[in-house]
Structure 1
Amino acid sequence: MTKAETIRAQSTASGAPAAEAISAAGLTFSAKDNKGRELTILDGVDLSVREGEFVAIVGPSGCGKSTLLNLVAGLIPCAGSKLKLFGAPVTGIDPRIGYVFQTHALLPWRTVLGNVEIGPEIKGLPATERRRQAVEVLRQLGLEGFEDHYPAQISGGMRQRVGLARTLVAGPEVILMDEPFGALDAQTKLLIQDIFINYWESHRKTVLFVTHDLGEAITMADRILVMSARPGRFKATYTVDIPRPRALAQVRRLPQYTTYWESIWEDLKDEAKTALLADGSGR
């Protein structure tokens, strides 16, 4: 048995059952490529994310990670009932889900506070209440004092936090995150990872987090799912047995961190090679 196989066996055995927030059984999804050919993106995906769990997905480019998030979010129609949210089939966009993308997509003509207030404003909350909620989330993300700034007046890392605050102010029960820190420089990324994990450890929302960064997955997640090259399916599961709360800089110095990183890469490297030789479609 290889080191990766041993770690996977130990990780799978240590998981404890709990209520499911997201589940899929044999989920398959196909779409047409730019030449009109049918392309299988996901093939037989089995997924179970428990309520309050932080699950990261890692996999090569083109394996269908983002497609899976979009299916869970209801942004892409999913035939049948193989994909479920809190036990009910996903049939469209659900207000219990918040989605954080790689780009913040802030409205440049609105202030930081105005951007975060958009969701409560759409819901029809009174101005005083939506402002109270927005100010509180901004405080929790370290943005107190920047409420009246415009996006062009703050750094890229701060803009990404504002985008995150805009999602969190709605109080989603499930947070989908598609490489939310991938576009940031290394130092800013580490700082925002710390800010978000502190927020998550206080609120324990269900998180499904897509990343290419193995270190990010290990330091933040409860479990890591390794996806194969397209057509995507889960080939390995790791339970990250590192106590919480976590100081992320310290986690990276633990012997377990190196063991997880090497084992996950052992599972992933052949998939990455396969993806590198593919045409790159079906992300």
Structure 2
Amino acid sequence: MAAEENLDFVAVIPARMNSSRLPGKPLLDIAGEPMVAHVWRRAGLSRASRVVVATDDVRIREALTPYGAEVVMTRPEHPSGTDRLAEVATHLALGDDALVVNVQGDEPLIPPALIDQVAACLAADPGAAMATLAEPIVDVETLFNPNAVKVARAHSGRALYFSRAPIPWDRDAFARRPTLLETDAWLRHIGIYAYRASFLNAFQEMAPSQLEQLEQLEQLRALQHGHAIQVALACEPNPAGVDTPEDLAKVRSLIARLEYPARETM
């Protein structure tokens, strides 16, 4: 409990304009505001001591200026969001033990409690380089959907593997027909991460791994290089992010009903 009371972390929101399915995604209008502003506001409701938006596009910085958001301009050539966070950690001169939470820029409904939880998860496991979250899979469609990333865990909570394929594979049941047993064996990965700043610095020096390139999952670079990732079960449901025009329509409808307290600015 004391560790959670003393929890201190920086939330960083990577925001890039390039998106094949939704060009200019961070600036898409939701209830009269750009999407990235909603994500920034949600992160501001967490216990983060500092919320930073990391972008390589001046249009995003200009869109956030009226909100008083802290924006760090980063290089455009980063191969992954984790590499971009490493540049931010260096720019902010964070100490090696500082905790950094990567909040995806396309999740304008992310519960602040999940941001706090993933930071606390890493703080509680000194041997882990990263922490992330997962939730039970309750339908076959999600299990077999390659856009829903699955994760298998050890009894300790450490990640064994992440995959776009359905893992674990139920040899006997799936041979007959795809169906889910009443078990918690199947988990969907929620794409929020906490890192120690020292690991971010090390990560950008690691060569992209074969598994990472095959699955297109950057967390596999950490696993294949031998780093531990702690995975906690999310303390509350995580609404879907915005990947498609249909997602955008749903989120617009939901956010229109929400009211946010203002975040104090410096």
Q: Same fold (TM over 0.5)?
A: no
> Normalising by the residue count of structure 1, what TM-score does the alignment of the two structures yield?
0.28
Tell me: higher relative CO, structure 1 or 2? Use CA pairs within 8 A at least 6 residues apart: 1
* Structure number with larger C-alpha Rg: 1
Greater share of helix: 1
> Normalising by the residue count of structure 2, what TM-score does the alignment of the two structures yield?
0.29
